[in-house]
Amino acid sequence: MPLSDRSGLPGPRVILKQLRALMAGRHSPQGRLDKIVRMIAVNMVAEVCSVYLLRSSGDLELFATEGLNVDAVHKTMLKVGEGLVGHIAETSRPLNLSDAPSHPEFAYRPETGEEAFQSFLGVPVLRGGLMTGVLVVQNQVKKFYSDEEVETLEIVAMVLAEMNASADLLGDDEYMGEDLRSDAPLHLIGRSFADGLAVGHAVLHQPRVEVTNLFADDIELELERLEVALEGLKSSVDDLLAAADQHLSGDPRDVLEAYRMFAHDRGWRNRMREAIIGGMSAEGAVERLQIETRARLSNTPDPYLRERMHDFDDLANRLLRHLMGYETIPRLTRDAVLVARNLGPAELLEYDRDKLIGVVLEEGSATAHVSIVAKALDIPLVGQVPGAVDRIEPDDHLIVDGQNGEVHIRPRTDVLEAYDHKQQLRAARQARYAAERDLEAVTLDGVRIDLNINAGLIVDLPHLQETNASGIGLFRTELQFMIGAHMPRLGEQTEFYRAVLDAADDKPVVFRTVDLGSDKVLPYLPTEWEENPALGFRAIRLALARPGLLRYQIRAMLAAGAGRTLNVMFPMIAEVAEFVEAKALVQKEIGRLERKGRALPKEINIGTMLEVPALAWQLGPLFAETDFISIGSNDLLQFLFAADRANPQLVDRYDRLSPPVLAFLSEIITKADKAKVPLSLCGEMAGDPLEAMALLGLGFRRISMAPAAIGPVKAMLRSLDTKAAAKEVKRLRTRGDHSVRGDLLAFASANNVVLS
Ligand code: PEP
Ligand code: MG
């Protein structure tokens, strides 16, 4: 960071020094701001320097100016997106113009007298990635401002953002009202990926670091701190990559590339060093680079580069945490709502389940495993919440509305009261479901439906009794592997499966063998990078390639099931040969036990998930081999539509209630019924009352879902005539529409089917 730039103007270092002196001086807040704009105007030889600050009303208010008409201060207001200043606020990017009045976004404000100025340089005032204002310099002559001038103004903007946030800037000034502070209420709309309501306090999964000290007291010390933190970052990312740790979102290659871009590019390091030599603290230098990179990449039309920006942000935040000595996984201390850009299921399970009451994600999708785990834990998850990480402050009071997919940040008391009421209504509804616990799952036309729960953790087991479900239709055994710090040993597995069977009493449990890979990774088991992990080395493919893991698991299941009925199911079977190979492993283990004279289960049923479309074209031979089939609609539909179930951009792209899905499922159920092979469906479709209605219309009589869905689905089916539903589904499944959701809703409404 030079003392002066090529034009001979004082560089950021001189300005930082003067800013520091101004901050230390005894000034009223407005007086300080006036002095700052004057100082910048003098140093940058600009005729105008103005500061606009954002009010929560969305207005950018002129707070101080040198050079424009002072009567306009606190009078001139611009909306975000209005005029050049509004444009900078909207895009969060600097604007450098030699002929401002001819720019299409220019909005003339006569009270300011700015028509006299041709050149214009404006930069956003950003804090934690959030736009809080705009800082502008203007000159009469036509000229482009140099890169050094842009950099100088950006550094001043950082200092202004910090002053504004710490309320140091305006103190108790009349203009520093409620609305300028970051504790104004905010309401964000996302999507519900796990039902429920939670009122608690925010915990950032990767805590954002608030940089409060931007100035260097001792330059040598700051340079040393930067080097130490960079080394720490390098080795922690190396560890991450080696262990395929999932603390960073995005696949390992992306992280690796971002890491290379950042840690190995001497340019980044040098720029941070220059900023420190110019008078900034190490934290300030990292934040400065972060702001600059965001500005450069955020508007790129290239989605790949935009994604890299997120990775860079993650890494810069990591570096800040290294500098400030933060822990990687925050400890939860009370009713915690976890806020993250995205999370893997194992990461969610790492948190203390007694304290975690809700999750807010910027990304996420309904059938991503993190949503499934949230449902299993019965905590609401609202995803696709734009800007959640930047807009939610640690410890903010939050309402997570998993019914409507909304998040209220720092809610007002009337909103809290409304939610209190909503929680009471919800509790009443839950009480109604509990009261209906013993009602039979029989439709209006007398068809009995087998309702099962999905489970995977010990905490799920009481749900079987609470819901009075017929059994556990899907026990995801991999969750036990994901929550531990090491691979569960044979004895631990046996004990665990025995506890599950004990809790189920005589009700059937379908144990699915480990379905690892894709987004279900083990923190202690390194995985190789894959181009398409959802289509990759996962589930049964991994288990057959490393049969030791599967054989141990089967051994544990056989031991736990001694003297009882044992149902084992394999995930991701794509062809009959694969199923036969997996089944042979079970036979081998049975033979081993027989040879040793050990007790065996009194009955063993071996079935398969149907979640790879190819298997649907081998149903004849499959029926001859399998005891039962369970359709995994989550994976099946991602393969049917070739649409990654965890990709937030594809969440709305295809509808589960669409003719191709109904037609495909209809073929399978017709054939399974004919062959008298028990068929069920255990994907997320089964737990949505409307989608479950379509499944019953298709002919499904056994479905398995998250425990919380049993009440609503039972209420639906008890008000349904399956013959009428079958007729409607038959009519809809051959249509050419993108979706038949609207028709099914209309059917439900016309026939008084309960969908609440
Ligand atoms: C499915 O794919 O529908 C399924 C039930 O399995 P999982 O969600 O665990 O992949
Ligand atoms: Mg699956």
Ligand nearest to the CA of 683: 1
Alpha carbon nearest to ligand 1 atom 4, residue: 632
Element (DSSP H or E) covering residue 305: helix 303-324
Helix, strand or coil for residue 246? coil
Distance, in Å, from the CA atom of 377 to the CA atom of 371, rounded to the nearest integer, reads 10
Q: Is the pLDDT score of 97 beyond 60?
A: yes
Element (DSSP H or E) covering residue 638: helix 633-640
| Residues facing 97 on adjacent strands | 120
The per-residue pLDDT for 599 is 96
Among 277, 292, 324, identify where a domain stops. 324
Q: Is the pLDDT score of 247 beyond 50?
A: no
- pLDDT per residue as tens digits for the range 20-64: 888 777 777 778 889 999 999 998 999 999 999 988 677 899 999
- Structural contact between residues 704 and 460, judged by C-beta atoms closer than 8 angstroms: no
Q: How many CB atoms lie within 10 A of CB 336?
A: 24
Among 324, 343, 359, identify where a domain stops. 324
User: Could you tell me what percent of the chain has a pLDDT over 70?
Assistant: 88
DSSP calls for 200-231: EEEEESSPPP-----B-S-HHHHHHHHHHHHH
In CATH, what number is assigned to the domain containing residue 145? 3.30.450.40
Distance, in Å, from the CA atom of 439 to the CA atom of 158, rounded to the nearest integer, reads 63
Q: Which of 310, 304, 194, 203 is nearest to 249 (CA)?
A: 310
E strands, 384-507, are: 397-401, 406-409, 450-455, 471-476
Distance, in Å, from the CA atom of 262 to the CA atom of 597, rounded to the nearest integer, reads 61
Cα first-last separation, the chain: 62
Tell me, yes or no, whether 587 and 667 share the same domain: yes
Q: How confident is the model at residue 258 (pLDDT cuts 50, 70, 90)?
A: low
Tell me, yes or no, whether 296 and 383 share the same domain: no
Q: Is 685 in the pocket of ligand 1 (CB under 6 A)?
A: no
Distance, in Å, from the CA atom of 632 to the CA atom of 534, rounded to the nearest integer, reads 14
The per-residue pLDDT for 119 is 93
Q: Is 682 in the pocket of ligand 1 (CB under 6 A)?
A: yes
Nearest atom of ligand 1 to the alpha carbon of 631: 3
Half-sphere exposure of 265 (CA within 13 A, CB side): 12
CA 708 to centroid of ligand 2, rounded, Å: 20
The per-residue pLDDT for 299 is 63
Structure tokens at 492: 């631990």
- pLDDT per residue as tens digits for the range 702-744: 999 999 999 999 999 999 999 999 999 999 999 999 999 999 9
Backbone angles phi, psi at 680, to 5 degrees: -135, 175
Q: Which of 463, 445, 443 is nearest to 453 (CA)?
A: 463
Matching residue, tokens 């279900």: 520
Structure tokens at 199: 């009122």
Tell me, yes or no, whether 253 and 104 share the same domain: no
Please list all protein residues whose beta carbon sits less than 5 angstroms from ligand 2, which is an ion.
Answer: 611, 632, 635
Q: Which of 392, 414, 467, 398 is nearest to 197 (CA)?
A: 398
Burial string for 692-702 (b: 16+ CB within 10 Å, else e) reads bbbbbbbbbbb
DSSP calls for 488-548: PPHHHHHHHHHHHHHHHTTS-EEEEPP--BTTB--TTS-----SSGGGSS-HHHHHHHSHH
Tell me, yes or no, whether 287 and 372 share the same domain: no
User: Active site residue: 49, 310, 463, 682, which one?
Assistant: 682
Nearest-10 Cα torsion for 66, 72, 75, 80: -60
Q: Is 139 in the pocket of ligand 1 (CB under 6 A)?
A: no
Give the length of the chain.
Answer: 756
User: Does the residue 338 lie in any domain?
Assistant: yes
Q: What is the mean pLDDT of residues 327-346?
A: 84
Nearest atom of ligand 1 to the alpha carbon of 372: 8
Q: How confident is the model at residue 6 (pLDDT cuts 50, 70, 90)?
A: very low
Among 369, 452, 476, which is best to mutate for testing ligand 1, by the most ligand atoms less than 8 A from CB?
Answer: 476
User: Does the residue 2 lie in any domain?
Assistant: no
- pLDDT per residue as tens digits for the range 371-393: 888 988 889 999 999 889 888 98
Tell me, yes or no, whether 378 and 461 share the same domain: no
Alpha carbon nearest to ligand 1 atom 10, residue: 635
CA 6 to centroid of ligand 2, rounded, Å: 61
Tell me, yes or no, whether 30 and 63 share the same domain: yes
Q: Which of 246, 242, 406 is nearest to 341 (CA)?
A: 246
Q: Is 456 in the pocket of ligand 1 (CB under 6 A)?
A: no
Q: Is 273 in the pocket of ligand 1 (CB under 6 A)?
A: no
- The residue ranking higher by pLDDT, 613 or 34, is 613
The per-residue pLDDT for 245 is 39
Q: Is the pLDDT score of 212 beyond 70?
A: yes
Tell me, yes or no, whether 338 and 373 share the same domain: yes
Element (DSSP H or E) covering residue 557: helix 547-560
CA separation, residue 710 to residues 54, 424, 451, 570, 704 (Å) = 48, 20, 7, 24, 9
Tell me, yes or no, whether 303 and 401 share the same domain: no
- Which is it for the CA torsion 421, 423, 429, 432, positive or negative? negative
- Structural contact between residues 705 and 653, judged by C-beta atoms closer than 8 angstroms: no
Q: What is the mean pLDDT of the chain?
A: 87
Q: How many CB atoms lie within 10 A of CB 286?
A: 28
User: Does the residue 213 lie in any domain?
Assistant: no
Distance, in Å, from the CA atom of 539 to the CA atom of 518, rounded to the nearest integer, reads 9
The per-residue pLDDT for 561 is 98
Q: What is the mean pLDDT of residues 513-521?
A: 86
User: Does the residue 210 lie in any domain?
Assistant: no
- The residue ranking higher by pLDDT, 241 or 119, is 119
Half-sphere exposure of 648 (CA within 13 A, CB side): 21
**Max Cα separation, the chain?**
98
- The residue ranking higher by pLDDT, 15 or 359, is 359
Among 370, 372, 703, which is best to mutate for testing ligand 1, by the most ligand atoms less than 8 A from CB?
Answer: 372
Structure tokens at 5: 């730039």
User: Does the residue 756 lie in any domain?
Assistant: no
Half-sphere exposure of 250 (CA within 13 A, CB side): 23
Q: How many CB atoms lie within 10 A of CB 61?
A: 19
Distance, in Å, from the CA atom of 80 to the CA atom of 176, rounded to the nearest integer, reads 19
Q: How many CB atoms lie within 10 A of CB 627?
A: 16
Q: How many CB atoms lie within 10 A of CB 486?
A: 11
Q: Is the pLDDT score of 285 beyond 50?
A: yes
Nearest-10 Cα torsion for 51, 56, 58, 63: -20
Distance, in Å, from the CA atom of 356 to the CA atom of 9, rounded to the nearest integer, reads 54
The per-residue pLDDT for 59 is 86
Tell me, yes or no, whether 637 and 534 share the same domain: yes
Model-level pTM?
Answer: 0.68
Q: How confident is the model at residue 3 (pLDDT cuts 50, 70, 90)?
A: very low
Among 682, 691, 703, which is best to mutate for testing ligand 1, by the most ligand atoms less than 8 A from CB?
Answer: 682
Q: Is 519 in the pocket of ligand 1 (CB under 6 A)?
A: no
User: Does the residue 679 lie in any domain?
Assistant: yes
Backbone angles phi, psi at 223, to 5 degrees: -65, -40
Q: Is 515 in the pocket of ligand 1 (CB under 6 A)?
A: yes
User: Does the residue 276 lie in any domain?
Assistant: yes
Angle subtended by helix axes 490-504 and 547-560, to nearest 10:
40
Tell me, yes or no, whether 402 and 448 share the same domain: no
Among 297, 324, 351, identify where a domain stops. 324
- pLDDT per residue as tens digits for the range 434-452: 999 999 999 999 999 999 9
Domain total of the chain? 4
Strand arrangement, sheet containing 95-97: 77-79, 59-66, 48-54, 130-139, 119-127, 95-97
Q: How confident is the model at residue 590 (pLDDT cuts 50, 70, 90)?
A: very high
Alpha carbon nearest to ligand 1 atom 8, residue: 634
Please confirm, yes or no, whether 682 is among the known catalytic residues. yes
Matching residue, tokens 């969060």: 92
In CATH, what number is assigned to the domain containing residue 347? 3.50.30.10
The per-residue pLDDT for 640 is 97
Angle subtended by helix axes 147-165 and 282-297, to nearest 10:
110
CA 518 to centroid of ligand 1, rounded, Å: 12
Q: How many CB atoms lie within 10 A of CB 718?
A: 17
User: Active site residue: 87, 310, 322, 369, which one?
Assistant: 369
Tell me, yes or no, whether 106 and 251 share the same domain: no
Q: How confident is the model at residue 132 (pLDDT cuts 50, 70, 90)?
A: confident
Tell me, yes or no, whether 317 and 342 share the same domain: no
| Radius of gyration of the chain, Cα coordinates, nearest whole angstrom | 30
Please confirm, yes or no, whether 49 is among the known catalytic residues. no
Q: How confident is the model at residue 252 (pLDDT cuts 50, 70, 90)?
A: very low
Nearest atom of ligand 1 to the alpha carbon of 632: 3
Q: Which of 73, 72, 99, 71 is nearest to 84 (CA)?
A: 99
Among 540, 635, 664, 679, which is best to mutate for testing ligand 1, by the most ligand atoms less than 8 A from CB?
Answer: 635
Q: Which of 562, 636, 553, 633 is nearest to 593 (CA)?
A: 562
Distance, in Å, from the CA atom of 666 to the CA atom of 659, rounded to the nearest integer, reads 10
Distance, in Å, from the CA atom of 400 to the CA atom of 380, rounded to the nearest integer, reads 7
Distance, in Å, from the CA atom of 115 to the CA atom of 119, rounded to the nearest integer, reads 11
User: Does the residue 6 lie in any domain?
Assistant: no
CA 504 to centroid of ligand 1, rounded, Å: 21
Distance, in Å, from the CA atom of 86 to the CA atom of 284, rounded to the nearest integer, reads 26
Enumerate residues 6+ apart whose C-beta is below 8 A from 79.
Answer: 58, 59, 60, 86
User: Could you tell me what percent of the chain has a pLDDT over 90?
Assistant: 53
Range of the domain at 390: 186-205+330-426
Q: How confident is the model at residue 109 (pLDDT cuts 50, 70, 90)?
A: confident
The per-residue pLDDT for 310 is 62
CA 634 to centroid of ligand 2, rounded, Å: 6
